[in-house]
Structure 1
Amino acid sequence: MRQPVPPHHRNFARSMRADSKAAESMLWQSLKNRQLAGFKFKRQVPLDGYILDFVCFEARLIVEADGGQHAESVRDAKRDRHFRDAGFRVLRFWNDEIERNLVDVCRVILLELKNTGE
């Protein structure tokens, strides 16, 4: 069921897609067009007052690419708890980890996608 998204959230998500960081762009190249085992990802998705870097609704998996501003973030912990309570799994990767080791990052995401709790 689609939720109404406030216009300022939609506009902010759109601007984030246009001005993505190198790590986000690299990861998006691996996730878009169902390239990872056929799972469909969307990027910079506004949901419940937050903007998700990447989400696969089919697998209920959120993937976040984090810079240094996210270190020990109380806001991120609250956000992750909100989405876990809603039935999502959340993976977080540091931007430099994505840039240095994209293959292993994708491998971790793929393992989580296949671990759907069936």
Structure 2
Amino acid sequence: MTEAENLLWQHLRGHRLNGEKFRRQQAIGPYVVDFVHFGARVVIEADGGQHNESPGDERREAWLKSQGFRILRFWNHEIFNETAAVLEAVLVAVECRHPLSPSPSPARGEGSRRVEGCRRARKIADRPLPPRGGGVGGEGE
């Protein structure tokens, strides 16, 4: 594992992120992902510049999405410099994929924060990759 993956794993392992269970270096079909939350079907990739615009990565991502997984991709510099924001994005993505609590009460404001968080998580998951070589602290720099 890279240093960025190790740092992220320190926060994800042992149910440390809000009691959620993640696995690392997990095989899913023909691919191995950095981290996965099977209950929420969320894959987390910690990447340096090696994954920019690779046809193999595009096929892999398309296959994972076809299996119902959402892919969150974080650059190494984000994991090192914005750890809290990365963990918040992961938690929001996982919570958005879990079923809602039995009876959230809109009158008490329940569920509204989650809806906004889910919108943010979708933006993170759907953001385009920066151009090759972009980003501070990426591998190969």
User: What TM-score range do you get, normalising by the shorter chain?
Assistant: 0.7 to 0.9
Match of 2:7 in 1: 26
Q: Runs of 4+ in structure 1 displaced over 2 angstroms?
A: none
* Partner amino acid, structure 1, of 2:55: V
* Alignment match, 2:79: 98
Counterpart mapping for 1:52-71 below 5 A: 52-71=33-52
CA contact (8 A) 2:34 2:44 kept: yes
Structure 1 vs Structure 2 CA RMSD? 1.1
**Is 1:72 the equivalent of 2:89?**
no
Structure 1 gap ranges (5+): 1-19
CA contact (8 A) 2:40 2:94 kept: yes
Structure 1 counterpart of 2:17: 36
Asked if the contact 2:39/2:98 (under 8 Å) is kept, the reply is: no
Give the structure with higher Rg (CA): 2
Q: Which AA in structure 2 matches 1:30? A: H
Q: 2:89 aligns with which of 93, 97, 108?
A: 108
Q: Is the 8 A contact 1:45 1:51 kept in 2?
A: yes
CA distance in 1, matches of 2:62, 2:98: 19
Unaligned runs of 5+ in 2: 100-141
Find the aligned partners of 1:109 and 1:77 in 2 and give their Cα distance: 21
Structure 1 position 46, deviation (Å): 1.6
Normalised to the residue count of structure 1, the TM-score between the two structures is 0.79
1:29-72 C-alpha deviation (Å, 9 max, x unpaired): 01001111211000001221111100010111100001111112
1:49 aligns with 2:27: no
Q: For the residues of structure 2 that align with 1:27 and 1:45, how far apart are their CA atoms?
A: 15
CA distance in 1, matches of 2:3, 2:94: 23
**Equivalent position SS for 2:97:** coil
Q: In 2, are the aligned partners of 1:39 and 1:58 still within 8 Å (CA)?
A: no
Q: Which of residues 41, 60, 65 in structure 2 aligns to 1:84?
A: 65
